[in-house]
Structure 1
Amino acid sequence: MTVKTDKTKLLITIMLCFLVALMEGLDLQAPGIAAHGMSADYGLDKVDMGWVFSVGVLGMLPGAFVGGRLADRYGRKKVLIASVALFGVFSLVTTVAWSFSALLFARFLTGVGLGASLPNLIALASEAAGERMRGTAVSMMYCGVPLGAALAAAIGLLNLGVGWKLVFYVGGIVPLVIVPLLAFYLPDLYKPAQTGGATVELPSTKSILVENGSLKITLLLWVSFFFTLMVTYILINWLPSILIGQGFKPNEASMVVLSMQLGAAIGTLMLGVATDRLPIWVMSLLVYGGTLISLACLTSATALPAMMAAGFLAGIFTTGGQCVLYALAPQFYPANGRATGTGAAVAVGRIGAMTGPLVIGKMMALGAGTSGVMLASAPGLVLAAMSLLYLSSIKKGPAPTTSVA
């Protein structure tokens, strides 16, 4: 009976977290899909659009860190529900923004909600699955992100008379529908320590991230997260505009993005399962070697079929590589600091995700072509690979449980 109950909880947890991840992926891809129409309506240039892309990621930075910290203190479920409601509401606000400043404000708060949700999704999937199936469970949950981005690309192909706003309507209404499902059906396996009805003070952030041998692990994770998310978000946000600048039609650019996100969904599942079976050093070579090859293919492709194939390959290794990092991070922190440690790594990754689109926006404004954009990504990928390779030399497994302050 216990085994059946545990399997049921795991299934329900993964299904509900998958739905949230689906909407997260849609909201992450939405600005890239809407960029052409949005820039026309607001009179934005490429640098302005770089800010639209990056301000949402900027909001994810405090969202990821604070969301993870609050989840370790008050529980994953409560914080996840609040974060989903937040990004649903402000995705809708994006459609009625009356100025460029209001648009940036809406995207920032959407990002806060998105950022706070992710470490909770990772922690919930990890804790429901346990050590043996952690990578598989996280990948099953996280494949909702690329599928959501693919859904955004598919929505971009529709013409229902509302233009670029359609993707934000979907990205706002559906999360608000998901909120009551989370409230009634999501199991919350992590229970903060209680004493006399009051929550016991958690270990300090310093003790989780720095002390007891954690500093080296934390820094290596941060470097890998930073550069991996930087490249992923360059592609998510700028690939449609880059393709249109090369002469592809907007609907053709959406087809390439759709191909990339379908590859991302497949890569997430494949690499997530592989993470449970292969050493970290093998995963590092696989992920970053594949990413560099896919960027070279994107640079050299000219015809639509070849570009779609290159996009598919890029999706496998960029977003799939993210999932590998998300599956690895919880293994190196104790249960009472798992969401904090993972949230901090995600927050650092968001700095890379914010920096990349801004830099590329300026490079494109100065006339840099596709090859320049792709070459600019290569050094960071090498550093990420080296960090993950070094991490593989450190004993795998969760750190000792940190004592309560």
Structure 2
Amino acid sequence: MKSGVRTIDVKAFIDAERFSLCQWLILILCFCIVTADGYDTAAIGFIAPALTHAWGIDKSELGIVMSAALVGLGLGSVFAGPIADRIGRKSVLVVSVASFGIWSLIAASSHTVGSLTIFRFLTGLGLGAAMPNTVALMSEYAPERLRSMAVNVMYCGFSVGLIAGGTASAWLIPHAGWQSVLVLGGVLPLVLALVLIALLPESVQFLVVRSGTHEKIARILKRISPHANLDRCTFVAPVVSSTKSGRRFALALILSKAYRLPTIMLWIAYFTGLIVYYLMTNWMPTLFRDLGFSTEHAMLISSLFPLGGLLGNPVTGWLMDRVNANRTIVVSYVLVAVLVALVGHSVGSETTLGALIFLCGALATSAATSLSSYAAQIYPTEGRSTGVAWMQGVGRLGGVAGSFAGAAMLGLGWHFGDVFTMLAVPALISALATFSIGQRKAASLALQA
């Protein structure tokens, strides 16, 4: 180090400061991205009953349409993570938000199952690219003592998007047709993309490993701490490899010996967790309508699921920061298994059914959300977007499986109770996979002692 030149670790700097207005702005912008993502991801579930009526098709035929966006989500996540670790979080976020807005608008012009499937797949590519990068960016701007809480609060936006989709669809579809739901899901992201260009900063931890970014880093850190003295200093961030190899081999990093088992277990946990989440999200309106609810009533009671997520996400994030992240997720998934089994046997009481759906939403949503937050803590900066993105990309196949499973079970004549009782199995698998990560970590610490 040159005489008189200080070294500032940007992660330690952020950890030591209060949560500033700059970080609140980042949280709000990421929250809006996730809200738009949630709305567009779930839109097909809300318009499904109207589509079956308008096009005269069987509900089982919509399985491929519901899965198309999830396939796109998986591929978008897989490709966007390494790209973001190479070129930055902000650029990928702006392009992805604009992309799913454009394709949602185009999807509104669909007249066949085939065309809607293609457009939903392309919408999903943008949706998948957005989510892991909001997790990475928020994780890198949140102080360690608040990291899980901040990411989970950000993820509440997904539930807000689902609630907005349910309530908006209940009014829009009878008055303006199913197409209006997709149009709204296209216009709002395009407006948001412009806001992101103007206001969203790049990750300072990412900028540290780029040359010629000293002034940018200083400006951002000054926004976090206006009174900090950043004269005659150099910025660093913790890394596990050289800058060059970190950028080139992020995927090799998350599959290296040190990270391989946690990576695979995260993939399994997220895969089976999303079977539960997306089967409920996509098929609840149809299942409730089959029970005798009106279309509007089915959508509104289904909205209790994401409403529960609004409560569950911050509570789970708080527990992860204060108690134990791994144990919190494991217990959440065990409780999900119990609750979905209870939902399957509560058809006779609408009040009990609504309460259980709310609790299922609180735990299933927060458990899946917390896996993203947990993954962001496991991986280092140069592999963080890739690690979260690949977990989400592989996990989205669980969403595809959930959508197809819902279509298959309904096609086979399965009843409401049968479908929900089956969901206890993937929930327990998620709990076991997450538990194994904690056991490995505990064993590693014991060996080091």
Q: How does 1:1-20 map to 2 (within 5 A)?
A: 7-20=20-33
Computed over aligned residues only, the root mean square deviation of the Cα atoms, in angstroms, reads 2.0
Residues 1:64 and 2:77 are matched in the alignment: yes
1:365 aligned partner: 411
Question: Aligned partners of 2:20 and 2:71: how far apart in 1?
Answer: 37
Task: From the CA coordinates, give the structure whose radius of gyration is larger.
Answer: 2
SS of aligned partner of 2:357: helix
Of the three residues 378, 381, 388, the one matched with 1:332 is 378
Gaps of 5+ in 2: 1-12, 214-242, 443-449
1:378 is aligned to 424
**Inter-CA distance 288–153: structure 2 relative to 1 (3 Å threshold):** same
Q: Paired residue for 1:48, among 61, 82, 107?
A: 61
The answer on 1:32 being equivalent to 2:45 is: yes
Deviations 1:292-333 (A, max 9, x none): 222123212223322221210111011111111011001111
Q: Tell me if 1:186 matches 2:200.
A: yes
Deviation at 1:173? 0.6
Which residue matches 1:230? 275
How big is the shift at 1:131?
2.4
Indicate yes or no: 2:324 matched with 1:279: yes
Deviations 1:319-365 (A, max 9, x none): 11111101100111110110001100001110101111102211110
Q: Which residue of 2 aligns with 1:122?
A: 135
Secondary structure, counterpart of 1:32 in structure 2: helix
Does residue 314 of the first structure (1) align with residue 357 of the second (2)? no
Given that 1:272 and 1:323 are in contact with CA atoms closer than 8 Å, whether structure 2 keeps it comes out as no
Q: In the alignment, does 2:255 pair up with 1:210?
A: yes
The answer to whether 1:74 aligns with 2:64 is: no
Structure 2 residue 336 is the aligned partner of structure 1 residue 291 = yes
TM-score normalized by structure 1? Answer: 0.93
**Deviation at residue 394 of structure 1 after TM alignment:** 3.3
DSSP 3-state at the match of 1:17 = helix
Does the Cα contact within 8 Å between 1:252 and 1:304 map onto a contact in 2? no
Of the candidates 175, 189, 192, which is equivalent to residue 161 of structure 1? 175
The alignment partner of 1:141 has SS state of helix
Q: Cα distance, 1:206 vs. partner?
A: 4.3
Q: Contact 1:227 / 1:352 at 8 angstroms: preserved in 2?
A: yes
* Structure 1 contact 58–351 (Cα < 8 Å) conserved: yes
- For this pair of structures, how many residues does the alignment match? 395
Moved beyond 3 Å, runs of 4+: 1-6, 192-197
Q: Give, in whole Å, the separation in 2 of the partners of 1:200 and 1:282.
A: 36
1:40 & 1:347 partners in 2: Cα distance? 32
Distance in 1, Cα, partners of 2:377 & 2:32: 24
Q: Which moved further from structure 2: 7-16 or 277-286?
A: 277-286
Counterparts of 1:196 and 1:261 in 2: how far apart (Å)? 43
User: Could you tell me which amino acid in structure 2 is paired with residue 28 of structure 1?
Assistant: T
Is contact 1:52-1:104 (8 Å) kept? yes
**Given the superposition, is the C-alpha separation of residues 4 and 284 from structure 1 closer, same or farther in structure 2, using an over 3 Å criterion?**
closer
SS at match of 2:79: helix
In 2, the alpha carbon distance for the partners of 1:261 and 1:95 equals 24
- Give the Cα separation in 2 of the matches to 1:255 and 1:13: 31
Q: Deviations over 1:180-214 (max 9, x none)?
A: 110010011222733589x9461424422221411
Are positions 1:249 and 2:265 aligned together? no
Counterparts of 2:306 and 2:84 in 1: how far apart (Å)?
29
From 388, 395, 402, the counterpart of 2:441: 395
Any unmatched runs of 5+ in structure 1? 397-405
> How far apart, CA to CA, are the structure 2 residues paired with 1:252 and 1:301?
17
Moved more, 377-386 or 160-169: 160-169
Contact 2:80 2:92 in 1 (8 A): yes
What's the TM-score, normalizing by structure 2?
0.84
Over residues 131-179 of structure 1, what are the superposed CA-to-partner deviations in whole Å (9 max), with x where a residue is unaligned?
2211011011100000110011111221462122222122111111111
Cα distance between partner residues in 2 of 1:293 and 1:350: 23
What is the letter of the counterpart of residue 433 of structure 2? S
Against the structure 1 CA distance between its residues 362 and 310, is the aligned structure 2 distance closer, same or farther, given a 3 Å change threshold?
same
Q: Which range moved further: 269-278 or 349-358? A: 269-278
